[in-house]
């Protein structure tokens, strides 16, 4: 069974009929789920049954990679002194703070999924138990159209923009149980009077975003970049990273290391997917994706240091405050 952290409005496996794929053509900044003809696009694994796409066939938001110096919100950290040597391999995967890989369904919400996983990790580390942040709250409550800040729910967005909106609007973080994922964009429940109980829970919350940190260095040495990110990952917890996905190999990735020389972002192509950086091995970064546990190694993937698809360009982590 694949992982499905919430009940969605539609489960395409319930329909034993042809589904018109044209109905799933999203905004220009989102790609058609399951299609790889455009090598600049990113989508989830294809498990077609009677031409019906699996709910984990995804569209991913494609946007131009912002140079680290142009990130308009997160405070940059270019040096971390841990006072200890980093291990050769490390992972947050089985430490009880990430939870199972999510399934974003037919919604280009990778930016919100990755942002939510990083918040979940910070909550879980603080409370010393697993506390899952609501991804739907991020999708619904951070709509924004502005230069360098563009969030459009299932039509794509930026994780740092979501953190900025949470901070500026004083939104209290709700849990997945209180505000479950629907796989569609909607109106922020904290502004509605539809359900007073939900209103109250959202106002109390489990914490608040007060900022974010970005880990980049001006050094041109990849080894320097890699060591900085490893130190950040080790000290702060799982990070949000942007990657460029090309070709169908990523969609059908298993436990092997993904090493594609074409996946490196540049000024013209940028990145098109957000994931959670969860660890590293001797040869690769470990990521948790949001394409269910049917993808990769039970929802995790490994991307080579040789061609890291943009992981080293702009990793971020949210800063939270708590009432306890």
Q: Given CA atoms 90, 94, 95, 97 in this order, what sign does their dihedral have?
A: positive
d(Cα 92, Cα 89) in Å, to the nearest integer? Answer: 11
Task: Note whether residue 31 is domain-resident.
Answer: yes
Burial (CB < 10 A; 0-12, 13-18, 19+), residue 67, is exposed
Confidence (pLDDT) at 70: 53
For 144, the token pair is 């924004």
Task: Note whether residue 7 is domain-resident.
Answer: no
Task: Note whether residue 5 is domain-resident.
Answer: no
| pLDDT at residue 252 greater than cutoff 70 | yes
d(Cα 155, Cα 142) in Å, to the nearest integer? Answer: 13
Q: What's the DSSP call for residue 110?
A: H
For the chain, what is the domain count? 1
Task: Note whether residue 36 is domain-resident.
Answer: yes
Assign residue 272 the CATH number of its domain. Answer: 3.90.70.10
CB 202, CB 178: distance < 8 Å: yes
User: pTM for this structure?
Assistant: 0.79
Q: Can you give the residue range of the structural domain that contains 305?
A: 12-321
Task: Note whether residue 92 is domain-resident.
Answer: yes
Q: What is the pLDDT of residues 200-240, one digit of tens each?
A: 445 567 999 999 999 999 888 999 999 999 999 999 999 99
Task: Note whether residue 2 is domain-resident.
Answer: no
Task: Note whether residue 3 is domain-resident.
Answer: no
Q: What is the pLDDT of residues 142-197, one digit of tens each?
A: 987 666 667 889 988 889 999 999 999 888 999 999 899 999 998 887 644 344 55
Task: Note whether residue 62 is domain-resident.
Answer: yes
As beta bridge partners, residue 301 has 287
CB 45, CB 56: distance < 8 Å: yes
Confidence (pLDDT) at 22: 38
β pairing state of 257-258 and 300-304: parallel
CB 36, CB 247: distance < 8 Å: yes
């Amino acid at each position: 069974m694949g992982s499905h952290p919430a009940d969605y409005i539609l489960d395409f496996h319930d329909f034993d009929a042809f589904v018109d794929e044209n109905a799933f053509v999203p905004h220009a900044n989102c790609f058609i789920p399951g299609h790889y003809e455009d090598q600049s696009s990113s989508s989830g694994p294809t498990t077609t049954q009677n031409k019906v796409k699996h709910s984990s066939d995804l569209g991913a938001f494609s946007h131009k990679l912002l140079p680290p110096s142009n990130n308009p919100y997160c405070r940059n950290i270019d040096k971390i002194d841990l006072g200890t040597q980093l291990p050769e391999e490390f992972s947050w995967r089985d430490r009880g703070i990430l939870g199972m890989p999510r399934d974003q369904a037919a919604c280009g919400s990778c930016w919100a999924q990755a942002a939510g996983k990083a918040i979940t990790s910070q909550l879980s580390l603080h409370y010393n138990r697993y506390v899952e942040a609501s991804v739907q709250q991020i999708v619904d409550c951070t709509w924004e159209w502005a230069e360098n800040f563009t969030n459009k729910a299932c039509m794509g967005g930026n994780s740092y923009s979501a953190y900025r909106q949470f901070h500026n609007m004083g939104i209290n973080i709700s849990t997945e149980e209180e505000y479950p994922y629907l796989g569609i964009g909607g109106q922020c429940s904290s502004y509605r009077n539809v359900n007073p109980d939900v209103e109250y829970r959202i106002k109390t919350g489990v914490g608040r975003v007060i900022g974010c940190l970005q880990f980049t260095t001006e050094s041109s040495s990849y080894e320097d970049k890699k060591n900085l990110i490893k130190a950040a990952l080790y000290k702060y917890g799982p990070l949000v990273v942007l990657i460029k996905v090309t070709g169908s190999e990523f969609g059908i990735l298993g436990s092997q290391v993904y090493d594609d020389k074409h996946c490196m972002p540049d000024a013209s192509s940028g990145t098109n997917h957000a994931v959670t950086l969860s660890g590293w091995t001797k040869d690769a970064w470990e990521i948790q994706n949001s394409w269910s546990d049917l993808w990769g190694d039970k929802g995790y993937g490994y991307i080579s240091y040789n061609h890291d698809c943009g992981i080293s360009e702009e990793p971020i982590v949210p800063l939270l405050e708590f009432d306890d």
